[in-house]
Amino acid sequence: MNEGKEAGVLAHLLNTMKKQFAVIGLGRFGGSIVKELNDQGMEVLAIDRNEEKVNEFASVATHAVMADTTDENTLRSLGIRNFDHVIVAIGDNIQSSILTTLMLVELKVAHITVKAQNDYHEKVLNKLGAHKVVHPERDMGIRIAHNIVSKNVLDYLELSDEYSIVELIAGRRVHNYSLTELDLRAKYGCNIMAIKREENIDVSPAAEEKINSGDILIVIGADSDITRMEQDLFDDDTE
């Protein structure tokens, strides 16, 4: 999953709330969020202190403004506290990111999501009171590692230290078995949330649904249980 896709997923999650968004910092990550929110018909204010960036997004965002968000008066004059969700996508300039986040917390913005550049940055942002801290480079690294370790894992989303959602390709060992027959919940504590078959996606598949080799199963569970299930039923099994 690349940064653009990651931003797309985040934009999609944000979109489900149908609220007013502001994105601060129009680099690759922030820019992707603005584009995705716009594609999904959302109202989004794009902010950057760099004029070129603002011009680049003038026709993409609902409004694009040039502003330095480390200045409290600037944030107040933008009416930032009225936005339901503000995304701070300033990465390299950690000082700006921290100051901006501090200001947003003090102004009591309802939801603040901040992109962290490294683990120390993430720790500070959490201490300041950011509601959600995202770390796309690290998360992408984890996903790629899972992908490399097992060719059956297409994608991986960490929910917490213990729980994840993974996309697994069904192979010979599960071909033509129903979910009841496989009994994954009892045997592995894992739940199949959806089955992707060619262009179709079956959300909450029925217990009698038969799995075909090549189906993509979207599974939620504890990491250790997913690994156990993957080794027993999915490992090296796609030929």
Which chain residues interact with ligand ATP by CB under 6 A?
24-30, 47-50, 53, 68-70, 89-93, 96
Phi, psi angles (nearest 5°) of residue 209: -60, 130
CB closer to ligand ATP out of 30 and 221:
30
Read off the tokens for 141: 């690294």
Residue closest to 120 by CA, chosen among 94, 81, 144, 139: 94
| Residue 155 CB, nearest approach to ligand ATP (Å) | 21
Helix axes 3-15, 28-39, angle to 10 degrees: 40
| Residue 137 CB, nearest approach to ligand ATP (Å) | 8
| Residue 61 CB, nearest approach to ligand ATP (Å) | 13
CB closer to ligand ATP out of 53 and 143:
53
Residue closest to 84 by CA, chosen among 112, 57, 47: 112
CA distance 210 to 217: 12
CB closer to ligand ATP out of 25 and 171:
25
| Residue 100 CB, nearest approach to ligand ATP (Å) | 6
Read off the tokens for 20: 């007013």
CB closer to ligand ATP out of 49 and 121:
49
